A and B are shown apart, each in its own frame.
Chain A
Amino acid sequence: EDQVTQSPEALRLQEGESSSLNCSYTVSGLRGLFWYRQDPGKGPEFLFTLYSAGEEKEKERLKATLTKKESFLHITAPKPEDSATYLCAVKRGGAGGTSYGKLTFGQGTILTVHP
């Protein structure tokens, strides 16, 4: 069964204090790893897709990287508006079965950035 573990569960930063969030995964035939941001009571907002080890994606203060066992979301000089829950999810390969197209999510990292 696919597993996604995120750490830490919660992270408190001062504005401008850079840090990283970790996502460790176990999946049979990774087809894609996805990062989302979720604000309270809202739907997850898509951030990045990573398909293969060594791949990196950047967007404003966020940078996502992927290895064969884990992914990191680096946050550079965060601002209070970056406060949210960050979710990591994986999709496995294979065109059939009970997991086709399914996202398996981690429990998320709750990020709080203080001014």
Chain B
Amino acid sequence: DSGVTQTPKHLITATGQRVTLRCSPRSGDLSVYWYQQSLDQGLQFLIHYYNGEERAKGNILERFSAQQFPDLHSELNLSSLELGDSALYFCASSSAPYTEAFFGQGTRLTVV
């Protein structure tokens, strides 16, 4: 158990809908990251928050947004969903930006 908790574990939704994925980082970790993993793309970095502030952005679509709350938990919002958004979405956390990141078990999103 990495100490990073993600909910829900599975999500099935229709095209055009909006979903919210939730992440609770390890106790004391200030950095939270979101990654997307699909079969053909591997693990792709989406966004990094540090102590409530956005610090880095990857190839995150404009339809996707994230935030980190004062209690350090984070949410990833995906809107206007398309079939191609079906993937595993992982949250990770680390004590500082350059230290090792610990991953949650992921949310498997299926868009139908």
Contact = CB atoms under 8 A, between A and B. Distances in A.
Contacts of B50: 101
A53 to B, nearest CB: 17
A44 B42 CA distance: 12
A46 B101 CA distance: 7
Interface range on chain B (Cβ under 8 Å from partner): 20 to 34
A54 interface: no
Contact of A101 (B55, B88, B102, B105): B55
A48 B57 CA distance: 25
Interface string A27-62: 000011010100001111110010000000000000
Contact of B103 (A41, A43, A93): A43
Given A98-B58, A99-B56, A101-B94, A43 B105 contact: yes
> Which label, helix, strand, loop or mixed, suits the secondary structure of the A interface?
loop
A100 B35 CA distance: 14
Contacts, number: 73
Given A101-B94, A105-B42, A49 B100 contact: yes
Contacts of A44: 43, 90, 103
A34 B100 contact: yes
Nearest to A42: B105
Contacts of B35: 103
Contact of A32 (B45, B98, B104, B105): B98
A102 B48 contact: yes
A91 B108 CA distance: 26
Interface in B20-71: 31, 33, 35, 42-43, 45, 48, 50, 55-58
Interface of A: 31-32, 34, 36, 41-46, 49, 87, 89, 91, 93, 95, 97-108
Given A43-B106, A91-B97, A103-B43, 6 more contacts: A49-B100, A95-B97, A100-B55, A101-B55, A102-B48, A104-B45
5 contacts: A41-B106, A43-B105, A44-B43, A99-B56, A106-B42
Interface of B: 2, 4, 31, 33, 35, 42-43, 45, 48, 50, 55-58, 88, 90, 92, 94, 97-106, 108
